[in-house]
Structure 1
Amino acid sequence: MTLLRYIRADGQRVPAEYETVEVDRDGRLAGWRSVAPLAVGSFEGDLAADEVDDLRALVDRAQAIPEPDVMRRPGASSETLELGDGFALEVGGLDSDDDPVWSELVVRGRDLLARQTAFPVAAIGLAADGGRLELLGTHPLELDLTDAVVSRYAWTPDGALAGEMSAPLEAGSRVHAEPGWSLDLPPAADALPPDAVVQTLVRFVIVAGGVPVPVEVGSEVP
């Protein structure tokens, strides 16, 4: 039985963002990331018992009080909490008048979404140096790299954008990535400032269950 599910979606960006994380009452975590730093794909793992107990207590508190009356802010990505089975609430428009338990659940959902990348099952990660893609987890993935693009952004120490470049990955089309698979990315152009911090973003397609899903994995913003 589902304890908590957190969903964040934004169909206005490219590729579309659809991020999910779900925890059942036994503490089993599962989810998907389509636009993320470090890794995209599917994830599964187990939370510590004390964290599950704490989360269960928060959910019980929320289910015992009236739902907040929230309105989605124009232009904002949607954030949805599902508590138990069949209960769903759009929470992107919470304000200070709402019971703090709702905001705390949103914070927990966001945190779990970010932390689940530590539990890859079938995911594609970007190496820490931004130099290659690699399969993470124990399950293979089908990739479509036909239109894959590598973008790099150079940032100065004060946070200013000092240069950028994009180039096709040119790695063929369909790839069956199994454990141990990796793919070197083209190096950053010499034209980027040598003293800048380089952020790497890679856009490609994961074919999940026969359905092509555009994704974007990147290094974290400096």
Structure 2
Amino acid sequence: MILRLVIADGSQSPAVAESVEVAADGALTGWRSVSDGGAGWFDGRLPPAELAEIQALIEAVGATPPKAAARPDSAEEVLELDATGPVSIAGLTAGPGDWSKLAAAARGLLDRLTDFPRAVVGVRYAPGVARLVHRGADPVRVDVGTVTVGATAWRGYYEPAGDWAGAVAGPGEIEAGPEWTYDLPLGLSFDSDTVVHLTADFTILNGPTRIPVRAKFTPDAPS
């Protein structure tokens, strides 16, 4: 392990609990609980050029931990390097300093992680339907007995075009594997010229542990 980032925020529901780890050979692994790429476990490998960029940023910060005070209401963000051990980066914002650059790159790895699903359930949109979809090669146990869905539609340059939220009954505890999908009917139809954003809250099962998660669907902004 050359870098590990853990972000936690229990003030939200579901709680944010994200992690990503980079190995010396570029292996990229982690967990997402609230994500546009779905919730679950991810496992992949960074291309050599991306790994080299991360290694250069790590070397630039050396062994001196950052000095930045976090706001009282900010999420906990702990970055761990071999040279420093675990250090808080919650107070580091975008800027020219070496630690700010590394913090931004580490946070970006959480988004990069979602390109490598292993055992993940995400949400997609089809007209009138929120659809849970499995991503990755490995199965994942989920409880979708009740899925809380939120849908917001926008027209043009973010003109509000309707929203809906509600609980949708599902099949309960199941094992979701490759090609698994489950449709969650929405209680409101949206015009065909709108862009629909979705959230779906459900539970992932890891042995006896039940983990509330949120999968999000954020389409590309209209050009």
Q: How high is the TM-score relative to the length of structure 1?
A: 0.88
* Residue of structure 2 equivalent to 1:171: 170
The counterpart of 2:124, out of the listed 113, 127, 137, is 127
- Secondary structure of the residue that 2:49 maps to in structure 1? helix
Equivalent residue pairs, number: 218
CA contact (8 A) 1:38 1:220 kept: no
Deviations 1:23-60 (A, max 9, x none): 01111110000001131110001111232222222212
* Residue of structure 2 equivalent to 1:94: 92
Structure 2: where are the runs of 5+ without partners?
none
Give me the whole-angstrom Cα distance separating, in 2, the residues matched to 1:76 and 1:186: 35
Give me the whole-angstrom Cα distance separating, in 1, the residues matched to 2:216 and 2:51: 30
Correspondence 1:68-217 to 2 at 5 A: 68-84=66-82, 87-94=85-92, 100-127=97-124, 129=126, 131-187=130-186, 189-190=188-189, 192=190, 195-217=193-215
CA contact (8 A) 2:146 2:170 kept: no
Q: Root-mean-square deviation (CA), in Å? A: 2.2
Q: Which runs of 4+ in 1 moved over 6 A?
A: none
Shift of 1:139: 1.1
Which amino acid is 2:181 matched to? Answer: S
Shift of 1:195: 4.2
- Secondary structure of the residue that 1:127 maps to in structure 2? strand
Which amino acid is 2:202 matched to? Answer: F
Q: How high is the TM-score relative to the length of structure 2?
A: 0.88
Structure 1: where are the runs of 5+ without partners?
none
Which amino acid is 2:165 matched to? Answer: S
Correspondence 1:4-15 to 2 at 5 A: 4-15=3-14
